[in-house]
Amino acid sequence: MSDVTTRALEILQRLGAGNPFDAVPEGAQRDLPATSPIDGHEIGRLASHSAADVGDAVGRAHDAFLQWRSVPAPVRGQFVRELGELLREHKDDLGALVSIEAGKILSEGLGEVQEMIDICDLAVGLSRQLHGLTIATERPGHRMMEQWHPLGVVGVISAFNFPVAVWSWNAALAFVCGDAVVWKPSEKTMLTALACQALADEAARRAGAPEHLSQVVLGAREVGEALVDDPRVPLVSATGSTRMGKEVAPRVAARLGRSLLELGGNNAAVVAPSADLDLAVRGIVFSAVGTAGQRCTSLRRVIVHESIKDELVERLAKAYATLPIGSPLDPTTLVGPLVDEASFRAFGDAISRAQADGGTLVTGGAQDVAASDATGGGYYVQPAIVDMPGQTDVVKEETFAPILYVLTYSSFVDALALHNDVAQGLSSSIFTLDVREAETFVSAVGSDCGIANVNIGPSGAEIGGAFGGEKDTGGGRESGSDAWRAYMRRATNTVNYSTELPLAQGVEFV
């Protein structure tokens, strides 16, 4: 048993999840390997749920919803408060488990759990702010108002790169809105999901919430399809690739359900002549190599003015040369492993295609750079910078790996055209001290993304703002602002407190 496996099992025990491998029913097919990208070792094997199992989980969640929807929202908030307190108590353990299973460096694993805590805090406050409107009516002796009611069972499908935060964005809001949640995590990060489920069960026990309000189902495509197709699930929130989203959306639409999609990104930073280059370099490096380039908000394109391109590229190359690569459990590491062999191969293939398109590899690109006794089975790469002659097909694609393409512009209009000339529309940024450029970038004629930042990179969103994007990113919004409305249904009420019955629009019917 590897050190990573031992640590993972110890953490699961402390989080209340026990040993999930011992809990697999006798005779069940253990077809789901749980592995760590740190060393490639298998931690254990779990069994997939069947389509019937998914239906049973949805049924249990629906029964819980029928009780939960009648509980006053501020009381529902107490459940989420308890969950937030448990996350505070177990932050170090859950953060380490995220690092073990997703390959994030420890700081990012802890940051992801802090994000869960933050959304719980926001949701608890929101539980007293689920307000509608009072609307002026043309009819005397009448009152018109708008109310928001619980929606039902929310299906959550999450990706490996944010194995716990994305669930919490959906679940914390759904719970205070009066909904139940059935979660299908990525097959690459099942243990973190089981740990969160154990914490949610304990929070429900402490708060007196209904049993089965939160459910986890494990498996591959068939399990996701069963969840997506179930008519008892009025909302499916799916995070993943654009390809996945384009399959989920029509299936949900076919039964007139709702989809909340958070899909791919191909995020850029425009670096203007006036930019503070010290600030730009720091922002670019974190956004491009954080989580080994495996964030949906990772920086993939730098669009730099021709007058400062050489200086910026030189600075970036020097910064890249200092990046510690290795086990994410080592507190000095800044770049951990890619999640699996497929990502490893995609990294090399994309660089080869970029070079075939005339690109110049400025730095990085080496593979297996961190092989050691602790990491020998993991897929480690050296983050790459590629100077491109133009925005070719490979640049327009999202490669989930630390590759940064450098493009050059001469006019601000050209920079905006390059920026928007990709199918994805998640996050974006500009580094400039010119207020006109900054304001134009965040205006209707600037960035076409759901997130547009000035003098920070595209990565690292806070939970107070609604998160999501446009175009092939899917159009969904999660987390803060008014994202809670996606988890509720709206009812418009007209109350007649008079003795007359006037009709709207002056219609007479006698």
Q: Residues with catalytic annotation?
A: 262
> What does residue 474 show for φ and ψ, rounded to 5 degrees?
110, -25
429 forms beta bridges with 269, 453
Other C-beta atoms within 10 Å of 503: how many? 9
Tokens at 254, concatenated: 């076919």
d(CA 500, CA 504) in angstroms, rounded, equals 13
Burial of 290 (0-12, 13-18, 19+ CB in 10 A): buried
Contact between 502 and 139 (Cβ < 8 Å): yes
Residue where the block lists tokens 């499908």: 157
What would the DSSP string read from start to end of 412-445? HHHHHHHHH-SSEESEEEEE-S-HHHHHHHTSTT
Alpha-carbon dihedral sign for residues 399, 403, 404, 407: negative
Tokens at 123, concatenated: 């949701």
Other C-beta atoms within 10 Å of 482: how many? 9
Burial of 510 (0-12, 13-18, 19+ CB in 10 A): exposed
Distance, CA of 109 to chain centre: 14
| CA angle (58, 176, 207) in 5-degree steps | 85
Composition of the chain by helix, strand, coil, percent to 5:
40, 20, 40
Using DSSP's 3-state secondary structure scheme, residue 419 falls into helix
Supply the DSSP symbol for 290. Answer: G
Tokens at 81, concatenated: 């408060």
317 forms beta bridges with none
Tokens at 106, concatenated: 């420890």
CA atoms within 13 A on the CB side of 318: 9
Give the CA diameter of the chain. 88
Using DSSP's 3-state secondary structure scheme, residue 439 falls into helix
Do the strands 267-271 and 299-305 form a parallel or antiparallel pair, or are they unpaired?
parallel
Contact between 477 and 318 (Cβ < 8 Å): no
Using DSSP's 3-state secondary structure scheme, residue 494 falls into strand
d(CA 480, CA 465) in angstroms, rounded, equals 5
Other C-beta atoms within 10 Å of 202: how many? 16
Number of residues that this document lists for the chain: 510
